Every structure is written in C-alpha cells, then in structure tokens.
Amino acid sequence: MTHVNPYYVNLKDSFLFYETKARAEAFEAAHPERRVLRLGIGDVTLPLAPVVIEALHKAVEEQARKETFQGYMPELGKDFMKRAAAANYARRGVQLEPEEIFVCYGIGDDLGAIGGLFARENRVAVVEPAYPAYVDTNLMAGREIIPIPGTEENGFLPLPFPGLEAELVYLCSPNNPTGAAYSKAQLQQWVDWANAHEAVLIFDAAYEGFITDPEVPHSIYELPGAKECAIELFSLSKSAGFTGTRLGYTVVPKALIREGKSLQAMWVRNRSTCTNGVSYILQRAGEAALTDEGLRQSRASLGVYRKNADLLTAALERCGIRYFGGQNAPYIWLRCPGGMDSWSFFDWLMEQAGVVGSPGVGFGACGEGWFRFSCFSTPEVTAEAAARLEAILPRLQGQTDP
Amino acid sequence: MTHVNPYYVNLKDSFLFYETKARAEAFEAAHPERRVLRLGIGDVTLPLAPVVIEALHKAVEEQARKETFQGYMPELGKDFMKRAAAANYARRGVQLEPEEIFVCYGIGDDLGAIGGLFARENRVAVVEPAYPAYVDTNLMAGREIIPIPGTEENGFLPLPFPGLEAELVYLCSPNNPTGAAYSKAQLQQWVDWANAHEAVLIFDAAYEGFITDPEVPHSIYELPGAKECAIELFSLSKSAGFTGTRLGYTVVPKALIREGKSLQAMWVRNRSTCTNGVSYILQRAGEAALTDEGLRQSRASLGVYRKNADLLTAALERCGIRYFGGQNAPYIWLRCPGGMDSWSFFDWLMEQAGVVGSPGVGFGACGEGWFRFSCFSTPEVTAEAAARLEAILPRLQGQTDP
C-alpha cells in the first residue's frame, strides 16, 4: 500500500482565499441585486505596461519562425533575464552574480519548492501575520512552526528576542497583510541574529515596488551580512502587474553556506532536476518590465494603487478606525471595530456594506480581531467601497471596542 | 545551525544533459573548424503552429487592456484549458472530470512536485532506462530506488514480476530513451499489478503524439482499472513544440485513494498552496494547441521528426547496428558498436564524426553499452549525421561486438 504524505493532516481544510471567495460567491448568488465590492485578494487590475506587451508580441513572433525559435530554456534562467535582475539590484547598490539569480514563475511557486533545500528537522519561525503558504508549505514537509506574533504594540514588526530558537525564519517586508515595513536598522537585527545563530532567513520582497520611505530597504542584501544568511524571493506580480502573467526570481547567494554545503549549489541541482526552465516568452516580458522604461511605465499603475490606499485610509481615519499600512505597501490592516473577531467582521461587512476583505486571523492567530483591505481594485470600486465604509462603520464604533 | 536536506549526498554530481553539453562545448571550443551535429538532448526545432501563435498574440493583447486583463489564475488551471484537455482525452474514449485535470508548466516541473503527495518511506520502482529526474527527485526526498531493468531480451519493456515490492512505480511509454512502447495488453499488466498491490503508477505520456501503432495506448486511462492506481503526466513540449514555451497537465483521478485519502484532494491542496497558477497567456496557447486544427498543424512537424527517424534508422540498418525505437517515439536506442561502453562511444563518435548523442548509461545502469539519438534536429543536420554515421560506424563493426 502506498503511504501518503502523513503531514497533510496538520493542515487546515481550506486555504484562506478559497474560503473568502466561496463565502463571497455564496453571498452574491443569494443576493443577485447587490453589487459586491472586492477588496480581498491582492490581485492587480491594471494592464501590463506597453513595453512589456511589445516584448511579449516580439517573443511570440520569434516562436513562429524556425530561425528564431527557442526550445528548452536553461533551468536557472536565460542570461538576458538574469542580467535584467542583476541590473535591478545594482540600482540599489547590491551586486549579485548571475549564478546567484534563479528565474522562476513567481514567489508562490518558489515558496512551494524552496523547502526542498532543508531537512525536516528544522524549526521554522514565521513572523506573523503572514501569507499562509509560509506555514502551510512547511507543515506539509512535517516541520515545526514557531509563530512570532506581530502586535499593535510592536507595530507588527517583531524583532528577534532572547531565547528565540529556530533554524529558518520567514519574513515579508513590506508586509502582507499588515503593510508594515522594517527599517534598515530593524531588518539588520534579523540579519545579525541569523548570522549569530547560523539560521537562514527566507525574505519575501514581493511588495518592494511600493516602498516610498528611504529608510525601508528594497532588498535584504542592502544590509551587511545578508548574503551570508538570506534567500530573497522577488516577483513582478505586484510591482508590474504580472499576477496572471507570471515571472519572478529567487536569489540564493554563493556566500550562504550551512553544514559546509553551498545552498546556491544545492538550488542549482534542485532546479535543474525539478524544473524544465521558465517560458522564453515570459522571460522576455520580465526583461522588459525591469528596464528603466518598464519600471517607469509600471510606476504609473503603482500610483493608481497608492491613491486607492489614500481613499481607504482617509475613510478609516474619519471613522476613527485604527489601522496600519497603506504606505510602502498596497495593504491596509485595520482593527475590526466594535470588538468583532475577524470572520464576524468579514460576514458583517459583506452583508451590511457589500464589501469583501480578508479576515486577519487567516494570516495567523495574532491577526484575530484584524482585517485586511487590498488597494489593487479599480479607483471606482475603491471610491465606492470607501464611501460605503464611511457610511456604515460609525454604527459599530464605541460599542465594545477594546 | 540550519540543517540542509541530508539526501542530496545520494545524488551524482551532475545531471546527464549538463555533462553531455559541457563535453560538447569543450570539444567545439578545442575544434572551432569542426561542425558538431547535435542529436543529444530531445529538444524540438520547428516553430509553434500558426493557431498557437495566433492565440498567444490574442492573449497578449488581452493583457494590454483593462477590460480584458487577467490577474491571478485559478491554481488548478483555467476552465477553458481543462476543457481542452478533457476533450483531448475524449478523443481516445477516456472521460475525465475537470477537477481531475491540473494545468501545469510541463512534466519536468510536476515531476519535481508530485513526490510531495507521498511519504518518504515508499519504495520507488523505476522502469529503466529512464529520464533521470524520476530517480533524482526521489533520491532528494530520501526514498529508496528499485531499478527495474529494461534489456534487449525484454525489448526494453519490463513487466511486473513475482516478488516485486514497491509502492510507487515510474513508467514512460513510448519510452524515453529507448523508444519502446507498451501495448495495451502489456500496460494492463502494470495496472493490474498496481491495483493488486495498492501501489501508485506515475505514468509519463510525454511522447503520446508520436504513437502510430493502434495497439499502443495514448493514455494509461484507456485501460480498465487505471483511474484507481495511476497519475498521468502530459506535456505539449514534444507533441506541439512547447519545450521553450511550456504547458502541460497532470491527471489525478478522484478514484485514486490510498490509506483512505483522496490523492486528487491532496493535490488540490498541494497546488493551491505551492503554486500561484499557470500564466494565462500560456494556457491560451495550450487550448489552441489542443483544438482539432492545432493538432492537425502540429502533426506536420511530427511528420518531419518521423522522417528524421527514418533517415537515422536506415543508416543504422545499413551498418548492421542493433537498435530500438524510431517508431511511436522520437528516439532511437542503439547498441554501441564494437563493444564500447556508453561514454566511450559518446567521446569516440564526437571526436570521429562530430556527432553528439546521449550515453545510455546516463538513463540507468541497464543503459550501459547503449546510446540514444534524438530525431528532433533539422532534416539537414539529421541527414548529414546519418551520412557521417554510415561512413564511420563500419570501422567499429565486428571488432568486439558481443
């Protein structure tokens, strides 16, 4: 009898975004007359930049002709795409070798695979609230999870503390879901802790494109010592609208050695065994997105999402609701008013205002009583949602808010 | 100290195609005057079909406009692509539900992930010679490998035998590298064995498009009982020229239950946790490739590759070299002449004829003394290679051929 993976029993039945989508769809089916506004899942709505579209068409045309046809890609990425990624780091003063950059389809995909580098026995600290895949991919591998709670008191930016024992640490800054972002000085504490403990940091830089504060690092490698302890995951999903197009990269520096093994060499072996390379067409799109012109064009979209954030935060402020984020990040993290728990507020808000968000508890136990709005919807939907919030939230205020 | 995956030490240092490429490149650098003909890696050379190109351009254009823009894909695939896959099975009389089809980037990628469904303790039987990733992905997971040797005597189509103890079995038919293909009656023996032993078959259908013999099944699900024991991996890489474009799917039937768990439900959980869906643009390409017109257009390319196979097998026959394959498959598997081992023949053939193939031993110990030619090169290169073989192979004949 084949033995199935025994660790799936440790997983909750459904994934957060499945559940919220299912509840929203059930609500819509029951109330066809209501217009439901979705500020839940963090999915972009603006089209790809013109230079990216142009690069995609050109690459498609190359696949149409024998003379320019591209077969198997190198499993670790085409040189042109690695150079584009390296140039993006060079803009921040970070020097990486092409062999340290691994082209992939995005962070979600490499998060699912990166655990293959590590033994089951490692303890995994997750700075929470967090994207659920950090926890779930490690539960599937049978690893022990140590949640490191973000709280209102630590500004949802917990730092290493005496007695913390873990071999892997997942960090996301600017953070999904709280929007909080570590300063260089704060993130340096994690780097120094990891080097002192010979731990490995898995750093999710998905929201790098939203940073405006000069004190917030765009890459963990801006900090001394990070190449000796950190793997960084980057994606064009949010910064260039690639959620449905897919492209990203993972950085495993050559200086990252554990138990005498080069994790970079192990990741070369892993990717060249477990993948067949990333679509040529998509790599050309990624290259275009990371040119100066590509970044310039994408910034226009990011500006639209920032204005969405301003609309929502202004409404929350007028209602006296406590929140984090909305700056350096496309998420707003708010205290559920009236002392409600996350799922109660999800249901209440959907039923009363027709607005769908994400329950904070879905990102970890410390998210209970909190709620996430995404700023990626259209300006029109966001403005309407802000107006509905402002009309309805005062009803709950002062009821039993702790 | 972070513990690295302890099982990587069980892997050989380099992956077969890395080593052959490195040797070929070193030879070319040392002999810039020689024209090296590559019949090694199984990579297509003909462009994508016109309907696929049209679908790609159209999808790119959709990503350029707000009204048609596509964000996150469902992690298990878009309905249109699942329907196209289901329709492809229906052509063979196989009925699958959309939830049993999981869209992916190709077989290489899902082979790297599918092991996550299973416990480490399973014993993995691999019908060899075989694509090296079957073994390497399982070595990385710490599993015991049981090679099931193909030999000249069993026609490189080994069947289950009394005393075979394994919980997972990897099969590829038509086979890479031997080109041998199981008949329905033969493959039924594997299905019956797996059901009797409650084992799981991982069936690689990458070369389905090359089948001409009506006795050879295109899908393992053509056989009674297969939905109760088999996972099938399919790719457009070889049948529609997608090696550099990427699209495939994996079938996990709902009837496949082990230890009381639905592997289909587990794979839903795995994919929705470990991936973020397959690029919209590529799914539209896959849909187009699987239309009647798409398949018709691809068949023209397959005809070119078949003629390449005919050129090579004719040359081998005139030289009196024993071989398998070249029918139902784009590979020719030949006995190294003169009693040479695989790598000696690789070096000899490269040096003497400037022809690069793949050493059979790279596909498993039972491949020692055998060699693979791919039929995916251009007709011009293939014809030149056939002429060189015919000129040079007789030198070795009769020397010490066993």
Q: Which of A247, A271, A293 is the last residue of a domain?
A: A293
Question: Percent of chain B having pLDDT more than 70?
Answer: 98
Distances, alpha carbon B136 to alpha carbons B7, B13, B130, in Å: 10, 11, 11
Q: ipTM value of the model?
A: 0.96
How confident is the model at residue A18, as a pLDDT? 79
| B165 and A CB contact within 8 Å | no
If asked whether residues B298 and B369 sit together in one domain, one would say yes
How confident is the model at residue A42, as a pLDDT? 86
Between chain A and chain B, how many beta carbons pairs sit less than 8 Å apart?
A: 255
Which residue carries 């973020």 as its tokens?
A: B276
Cross-chain Cβ contact A274/B108 below 8 Å: yes
How confident is the model at residue A14, as a pLDDT? 65
Mean pLDDT value across residues B264-276? 95
* B15: closest CA of chain A, how far (Å): 7
If asked whether residues A155 and A263 sit together in one domain, one would say yes
Split at pLDDT 50, 70, 90, the class of B14 is: low
| B110 and A CB contact within 8 Å | no
List chain B residues with CB under 8 Å of A237. 276
If asked whether residues A119 and A13 sit together in one domain, one would say no
- Output the domain CATH number for residue A330: 3.90.1150.10
Split at pLDDT 50, 70, 90, the class of A400 is: very low
List chain B residues with CB under 8 Å of A69. 45-48, 241, 244
Residue A282 lies in a domain: yes
pTM of the model: 0.96
- Of all residues in chain B, the one with the smallest CA distance to A61 is B53
Cross-chain Cβ contact A56/B60 below 8 Å: yes
DSSP A124: E
Model confidence at A271: pLDDT above 50: yes
Distance (Å, whole) CA B356 – CA A195: 47
If asked whether residues A67 and A54 sit together in one domain, one would say yes
Residue B388 lies in a domain: yes
How confident is the model at residue A401, as a pLDDT? 45
pLDDT in tens, A330-347: 999 999 999 999 999 999
Model confidence at A105: pLDDT above 60: yes
How confident is the model at residue B396, as a pLDDT? 78
Q: What would the 3-class secondary structure string for chain B be?
A: CCCECHHHHHCCCCCHHHHHHHHHHHHHHHCCCCCCEECCCCCCCCCCCHHHHHHHHHHHHHCCCCCCCCCCCCCCCCHHHHHHHHHHHHCCCCCCCHHHEEEECCHHHHHHHHHHHECCCCEEEEEECCCHHHHHHHHHCCCEEEEEECCCCCCCCCCCCCCCCCCEEEEECCCCCCCCCCCHHHHHHHHHHHHHHCCEEEEECCCHHHCCCCCCCCCHHHCCCHHHCEEEEEECCCCCCCCCCCCEEEECCCCCEECCEEHHHHHHHHHHHHCCCCCHHHHHHHHHHCCHHHHHHHHHHHHHHHHHHHHHHHHHHHHCCCEEECCCCCEEEEECHHHCCHHHHHHHHHHHHCEECEEHHHHCHHHCCEEEEECCCCHHHHHHHHHHHHHHHHHCCCCCCC
- Of all residues in chain B, the one with the smallest CA distance to A78 is B244
Which of A14-28, A130-144, B71-85 bottoms out in mean pLDDT, i.e. has the lowest? A14-28
Strand partners, B262: B257
pLDDT in tens, B129-140: 999 999 999 999
Mean pLDDT value across residues B112-119? 97
Mean pLDDT value across residues B327-346? 96
Q: Give one word for B199, left, alpha or beta, with left for phi > 0 and alpha for psi -120 to 50.
A: beta
Which residues in chain A (293-352) have CB-CB distances under 8 A to chain B?
none
Cross-chain Cβ contact A56/B136 below 8 Å: no
If asked whether residues A75 and A13 sit together in one domain, one would say no
- Output the domain CATH number for residue B81: 3.40.640.10
If asked whether residues B366 and B326 sit together in one domain, one would say yes
Split at pLDDT 50, 70, 90, the class of A41 is: confident
Cross-chain Cβ contact A15/B269 below 8 Å: yes
Q: Which of B291, B314, B329 is the last residue of a domain?
A: B291
Model confidence at B402: pLDDT above 50: no
If asked whether residues B138 and B264 sit together in one domain, one would say yes
Mean pLDDT value across residues A132-150? 97
Range of the domain at B299: 6-48+294-395
Bridge pairing between strands A168-172 and A144-149? unpaired
- Of all residues in chain A, the one with the smallest CA distance to B258 is A2
How confident is the model at residue B386, as a pLDDT? 98
If asked whether residues A171 and A286 sit together in one domain, one would say yes
| A70 and B CB contact within 8 Å | yes
Mean pLDDT value across residues B198-224? 97
Model confidence at A369: pLDDT above 60: yes
From the CB of residue A381, how many other CB atoms can be counted at a distance below 10 Å? 18
Model confidence at A397: pLDDT above 70: no
Omega into B177 within 30° of 0, i.e. cis?
A: yes
Bridge pairing between strands B101-104 and B37-38? unpaired
**Token pair for residue A105?**
């389809």
Distance (Å, whole) CA B129 – CA B324: 13
Residue B400 lies in a domain: no
Residue A328 lies in a domain: yes
Mean pLDDT value across residues A170-184? 98
Model confidence at A23: pLDDT above 70: yes
Model confidence at A194: pLDDT above 90: yes
Mean pLDDT of chain A: 95
Domain count, chain B: 2
Mean pLDDT value across residues A72-80? 95
Cross-chain Cβ contact A282/B279 below 8 Å: yes
Cross-chain Cβ contact A53/B64 below 8 Å: yes
If asked whether residues A261 and A130 sit together in one domain, one would say yes
Say which residues have a Cβ less than 8 Å from residue B253's Cβ, sequence separation at least 6.
Answer: B96, B100, B221, B227, B228, B230, B264
| B11 and A CB contact within 8 Å | yes
Strand partners, A86: none
Q: Which of B256, B291, B326 is the last residue of a domain?
A: B291
